[in-house]
Amino acid sequence: MLKKNCELAQPLLAWYRENARDLPWRHTQDPYAIWVSEIMLQQTRVAAVLGYYARFLTALPTVADLAAVDEDKLMKLWQGLGYYSRARNLQKAAQAVMADHGGQFPQSVEGLKALAGIGDYTAGAIASAAFGLQASAVDGNVLRVVSRLLDCHDDITLPATKKTFTAWIDGQLPPAGDDMRQFNQGVMELGATLCGPNSAPQCEGCPLQSQCLGYSRGTAETLPVKAPKKPRRKEEKTVFVLTCRDKVLLRKRPATGLLAKLWEFPNVDGHLDETAVADQLERWGIAPVQWQKRLTATHIFTHVEWDMVGYCVEIAPADDLPEGWVWAETALDDHAVPSAFSRFVAAL
């Protein structure tokens, strides 16, 4: 192992200040904006977050605005980012900040962790970047960098490994203040760029090369060690895009589980052929006027993959709809339909 007080911080910070990507959340010390960026960046690429981050902060510039926003509007702002429980937890946490903390974010890791959706990593990231507190923020990028630095072959998906690496990085933190504001960003930046996940590490330009055991022992490319993921479950679905003039039928998904409470096109399990689709429409009391298209689409979630066929059908006006169904404008301006259905949204 590297010795505890090796000079990690100074070369890393010097490199970061020269080479950091210019990202909007790196220009602020506002805990609200930093928190929004950190939640959006969970499981989502930087390039995909940029537009959402700007729109979100324009629509909801303060924690008070987020606490008070209508849920449908919030979902619409989040539409396409996925993992919608993140947005609901954001609002829950914003409401707690308003109700319990007078509109100010708690200035401690423990206080931040008491808010919905904020775990060890996010609390450390906000505490350091917004308040300059001495706190580590260990994400997948940091685990990869540390496993290479230490030439450690323990499985990084295990909590025990994360605990060991966190304790090690805690021993490398600079004092509270400006260096600390950038330290965690620096390790993550290294893990997102030179020491990245999908290609060989670019050790030649790395500020930590002289201290890196993975580099000196030639093992860096084989690290980190990660247990293989379980294969995703596949689910077949038949999706109904039922339109009548400039309206389309939607229904709300259940209050818990995948894509909870978002709007969706009516759908059933399995792949139905046209005869079975006609039978299903009849069971719903819906009269088709014209069959327009048959579409196919796949959507991959973390643990499940949807394999969908969809039927676009113009139907006769219907008022006696199944419970929970609504007529929406085909522009879908007021309804957040998750990107799992984007192929069918495009067909509108």
Provide the binding-site residues for ligand SF4, judged by CB under 6 A. 145, 148-149, 194-195, 201-203, 206, 208-209, 212, 214-215, 220
Q: At what angle do helices 46-59 and 71-78 cross, to 10 degrees?
A: 150
Token pair recorded at residue 115: 């808010």
| Rounded least distance, CB 142 to ligand SF4, Å | 11
The nearest distance, CB 290 to ligand SF4, in angstroms, is: 59
What residue ranges in 209-287 does DSSP mark as E strands? Answer: 233-244, 247-252, 263-264, 267-269
Distances (CA, A) of 209 to 11, 18, 206: 10, 17, 5
Q: Is 38 a catalytic residue?
A: yes
Burial class (CB in 10 A: 0-12, 13-18, 19+), 226: middle
Min. distance of Cβ 328 from ligand SF4 in angstroms? 50
Closer by beta carbon to ligand SF4, 122 or else 136: 136
Nearest one of 348, 275, 283 to 312, comparing CA atoms: 348
Evaluate whether 231 touches 310 at the Cβ level (below 8 Å): no
How far apart CA 247 and CA 336 sit, in angstroms, is 15
Residue of 7, 18, 38, 305 marked catalytic: 38
Question: How do 325-329 and 263-264 pair as beta strands?
Answer: unpaired
Nearer to ligand SF4, 98 or 203 (CB): 203
Strand partners, 251: 264, 325
Q: How far is the CB of 201 from ligand SF4 (least distance, A)?
A: 4
Residue closer to ligand SF4 (CB basis): 76 or 148 = 148
Q: Which residue, 148 or 237, is less far from ligand SF4 as judged by CB?
A: 148
Residues 6+ apart with CB under 8 A from 292: 312, 313, 314
CB of 224 to ligand SF4, least distance (A): 10
Q: Which CB, 187 or 277, lies closer to ligand SF4? A: 187
Residues labelled as active-site residues: 38
